[in-house]
Structure formats: structure tokens, C-alpha cells
Amino acid sequence: MTFSSQLLWAIAMGLYVLGVLFLTRIPYQAMVGRGMEPIRAVYYTRKIVHMLAGGVGSLAVPLVFTDPWFPLAAGLLFTLFTLAAHRLGMRMYWFQTPDNTNDVKFALMWGLSVSSLWWLLGDPWLAILPALYMAFGDGVTGVARNLLVRRRSKSPIGNLFMLIVCVPLGWFIGGQADPSIPWWGLASAVAATWVERYEFGPIDDNVLITLTASAVLLLGSVAASIG
């Protein structure tokens, strides 16, 4: 795929993500209009953004790009965009909150994890796996907790739903790698699900999920190549 065609895809994906960011104001307003507490509506909307922007965007990467520079640039641009919204008083209140910048870290870790793993492993599908855990796995986790616990929490019930989503992803994508590493893919899913429960100051679950899953996949790829 040529540079110009990848650039066009990058622009199209950027417009798609911007559309998701702004159109999710509609379900937020609908939830609040039905009497839901605004902070709960924010967390639902944030997870919609996770899945539709981060998740769908991740799945598109191996299909439309042949160069890891494009996901890196996209991740960094959206990191700056979401950070500017916080810092310049233009916070997108339907998914951003004044008490944390987790959405900024999501964009940053998405770009860094996808591009770094692609460079290190040479496999764009393995490269998006931690991002899929962060987008779909953590997204489902947040929805389950918000629905069942009815507040932002780290209840284990959310991790059960995350495991159900992540294990098939890890097994299937890991199995398609060369060399095939389905068990390491499964292990990366379990590890990502485990660390999602923790936060250490500015190091939130977005950072822990992508770093931990990436480390397991790197270890598995090295072990498979020398085995």
C-alpha cells in the first residue's frame, strides 16, 4: 500500500474517531435525560468511545496500514487533542472528567503499544492485541460494573466479563502469528485482565494493560522463535 493511500486512510480514520468523540454526546444526553446520574452516564459514554474509537480503530490498523508510523502518529495526535481539551477549558464533558485524564492515557498507550509491538514483532495483528484488550476488554468491564455495581469501581465482576472477551482474542490472534503462540496469547489476556484492577497514582489501567500484555507477547514470541 502506498504512502498516499495510507495517508488517506489515516485521515478517514481520524475523521471517524472525531465523529465518535462528538456523536457520543447524544447517548450521554439521552441517559441523563432519563434521570441517570451524570457521572454514571460519563462512564458509559467513555466505554462506548473505548470500543467504537479504540477498538474499531485497532481492528482497522492491519487492514489499511503497512507502516507502523501511521498508528503512532494517530495516537500522538489524539493524545494532544484530548489533553488540549482538558487544559484549554474545552473538556468534552460527556466522556471526560475533571478528576482524571485517563482518556489521554488511552490515546497515548494505544499509539505507543501498537507501533512499538509492530516494530518489535513485525506482526500488525499481534501489535493490536493489547489495544484490543484495552478497548473491548476494559470497555466491557466498565459497562458491566456500571450496570451491576452502579458506580465506578474495581469490582471483580467486571474482570470476569473482560476475561470472557479477551481470552478468545488472545487465543485466536496468537494462534495466527508466525510462529504461532496461542497459549501466550491466552496468557497475555489473563495478565491484562488481572492488572486491570490496579492503579498506581498516574499509572492507570490503560498503562498497565498495554504494558503487561505487550511484555507477555514479546516473551512468548522470543520463546517460540528459540524453541
Collapsing DSSP states into helix, strand and coil, what is residue 1?
Answer: coil
Query: What pLDDT, on a 0 to 100 scale, did the predictor assign at position 55?
Result: 97
49 by Cβ neighbours in 10 Å (0-12 / 13-18 / 19+) ranks as buried
What residue segments make up the domains of the chain, in order of their start? 3-226
CA angle 194, 199, 200 (to 5 degrees): 130
C-alpha cell at 108: 497515548
Question: Would you say residue 153 has pLDDT above 80?
Answer: no
Q: Residue 43 CB: number of other CB atoms within 10 A?
A: 18
* Per-chain mean pLDDT for the chain: 95
pLDDT digits (tens, 9 = 90+) for 94-137: 999 998 999 999 999 999 999 999 999 999 999 999 999 999 99
Return the sign of the alpha-carbon dihedral for residues 10, 140, 126, 209. Answer: positive
Mean pLDDT of 133-145: 94
115 by Cβ neighbours in 10 Å (0-12 / 13-18 / 19+) ranks as buried
Rg (CA), the chain: 17
Mean pLDDT of 12-31: 98
Helix axes of 38-49 and 102-121: crossing angle, nearest 10 degrees: 20
**pTM: predicted TM-score of the whole model, two decimal places:** 0.95
Matching residue, cell 489473563? 190
